[in-house]
């Protein structure tokens, strides 16, 4: 399974559309994850793929700030990260990931791409889609995740 991950599109649907085309140009993607601050942007583009998303601190009137999903046997935590204080460190995010028993914690908010493994948990921020940044997760049938960071 190949999954596109974006965050912080902030209404820049033209840039988001370009990112989706870039994702598909390499190889078909099976789903898209949006990590907030642009909650309605994928809907505005009428994306014809499964979409999983959470609200960010700029997504007014949205309360879905945490989502845990399972894709191809990988358990993923989706959050924007503002409630986990990711701008000052990842300790709260890691604690939540351990508590929820996930394989990966995906977050945004900082607008900076970051990818690291801590104690077997992938921590990934795709960066800001408004700046042309995104990530791809390649997930095999056993749930192993091979992440990639991209920039236009």
Model confidence over 30-83: pLDDT tens digits? 999 999 999 999 988 888 899 999 999 999 998 899 999 999 999 999 999 999
Q: Using pLDDT thresholds of 50, 70 and 90, give the confidence band for residue 122.
A: very high
CATH number, position 136? 3.60.21.10
Write down the number of H helices and E strands in the chain: 3, 10
Residue 141 has a pLDDT of 94
* CA angle 103–32–126, rounded 5-degree value: 65
Q: Give me 19's structure tokens.
A: 């990112």
> How many domains does the chain divide into?
1
Query: Does position 26 have pLDDT exceeding 90, yes or no?
Result: no
Picking from 60, 27, 56, the residue whose alpha carbon sits closest to that of residue 128 is 56
Question: Any long-range contacts for 86-93 (C-beta under 8 Å, 24+ apart)?
Answer: 86/110, 86/125, 90/118, 90/123, 93/123
Domain ranges, residue 62: 2-151
Q: pTM of the prediction? A: 0.96
């Amino acid at each position: 399974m190949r999954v596109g991950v974006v965050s912080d599109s902030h209404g820049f649907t033209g840039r988001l559309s370009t990112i989706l085309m870039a994702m598909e140009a390499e190889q078909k993607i099976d789903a898209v994850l949006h990590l907030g601050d642009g909650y309605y942007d994928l809907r505005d583009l009428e994306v014809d793929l499964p979409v999983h998303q959470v609200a960010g601190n700029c997504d007014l009137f949205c309360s879905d700030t945490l989502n845990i999903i399972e894709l191809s046997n990988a358990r993923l935590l989706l959050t924007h990260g503002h409630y986990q204080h990711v701008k000052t460190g990842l300790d709260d995010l890691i604690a939540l990931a351990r508590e929820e028993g996930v394989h990966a914690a995906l977050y945004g908010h900082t607008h900076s791409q970051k990818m690291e493994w801590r104690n077997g948990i992938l921590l990934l921020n795709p960066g800001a889609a408004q700046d042309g940044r995104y990530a791809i997760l390649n997930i095999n049938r056993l749930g192993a995740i091979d992440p990639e960071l991209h920039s236009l």
